[in-house]
Amino acid sequence: MSGWVRIAGLGPGADGMVTPEVSGALNAATDVVGYTPYVARVCPRPGLSLHPSDNRAELDRARHALRMAAEGRRVVVVSSGDPGVFAMAAALFEALETGPKPWRDLDIRVLPGITAMLAAAARAGAPLGHDFCTINLSDNLKPQALIEKRLRLAAEGDFAIALYNPRSQARPEGFARALDILRETCGDDRPVIFARNVSHPDETIRVVPLSEAKAEMADMRTVVLIGSAQTRIIPHRAGPIVYTPRSAPV
């Protein structure tokens, strides 16, 4: 088949955080598929068709991309951040696994991007400098009980934790419950980083102890990073530097 699919990460927002590999795929594409705000980040040009869709249409979007590629088109499926982190890569492979067998002959590649988690960590210092885990607090695709179980186990394991999709208008209570679980397990002193709109002009980075963290400090544009017991804060004229040492005590 002459068509292909590239599942590409556009990074957290700034043009400078889009990798050259992703830019090259977009320049070669005949079609771009993705959630409406992400497709809007792609510059229109002659010969390029843009296919925006709703946020909850991941499988339909993936099937559409695979069908177009099977017809010989060069398709880029865009996500923010990295496409393999709570994004379109898994959705496309789910569609591939259950779809027509000829789709498996397509040239399909995942092009990594800079995640909001990594961009936020870089802005704050190196809070993910040792072992860490990432948890999506959205209950759209998994039960709340599983979210709470994973939070407890991550805290008990003394991981630094990155939280995606912490709080939305539809579920304002979920992040408050997450903070309660973390305080019950970790105590009150862990540094918490609220990183909102990282790499955008209105970026904000706020560092508070877990005891002062409140649910209303986050929304769906915020990534929340919680340090481990080893995480340190260095005062600095430009703002606190948060880092987790590379080693853990015996």
pLDDT in tens, 40-72: 999 999 999 999 998 888 999 999 999 999 999
Q: What percent of the chain has pLDDT over 90?
A: 89
Q: Which CATH architecture has domain 117-243?
A: 2-Layer Sandwich (3.30)
pLDDT tier, 35 (very low <50, low <70, confident <90, very high otherwise): very high
pLDDT tier, 1 (very low <50, low <70, confident <90, very high otherwise): low
| Mean pLDDT rounded to a whole number for the chain | 95
**CB-count exposure of residue 103 (10 Å: 0-12, 13-18, 19+):** buried
Report the pLDDT averaged over residues 155-166. Answer: 96
pLDDT tier, 250 (very low <50, low <70, confident <90, very high otherwise): confident
Report the pLDDT averaged over residues 221-230. Answer: 96
Report the pLDDT averaged over residues 182-195. Answer: 94
- Identical fold for domains 4-114 and 117-243, yes or no, is no
Tell me the pLDDT tens digit for each residue of 74-100. 999 999 999 999 999 999 999 999 999
Contact, 96 vs 212, CB < 8 A?
Answer: no
Query: What's the N-to-C CA distance of the chain in angstroms?
Result: 55
pTM score over 0.75: yes
Domain edges within the chain? 4-114, 117-243
Among 42, 40, 106, smallest CA distance to 74 is for 106
Tell me the pLDDT tens digit for each residue of 99-145. 999 999 999 999 999 999 999 999 999 999 999 999 999 988 899 99
Q: Write the Ramachandran bin of 45: left for phi over 0, alpha for psi from -120 to 50, otherwise beta.
A: beta
What CATH fold (topology level) applies to the domain 4-114?
A: Cobalt-precorrin-4 Transmethylase; domain 1 (3.40.1010)
Output the CA–CA distances (angstroms, integers) from residue 82 to 1, 78, 180, 235, in the order listed.
27, 9, 29, 31
Calpha distance 229→185 (Å, rounded): 11
Q: What percent of the chain has pLDDT over 70?
A: 100
114 versus 247: which is more confidently predicted? 114
Contact, 230 vs 44, CB < 8 A?
Answer: no
> Residue 170: its pLDDT value, please?
72
pLDDT tier, 169 (very low <50, low <70, confident <90, very high otherwise): confident
pLDDT tier, 188 (very low <50, low <70, confident <90, very high otherwise): confident
Query: Percent helix, strand, coil in the chain (nearest 5)?
Result: 35, 25, 40
> Residue 141: its pLDDT value, please?
87
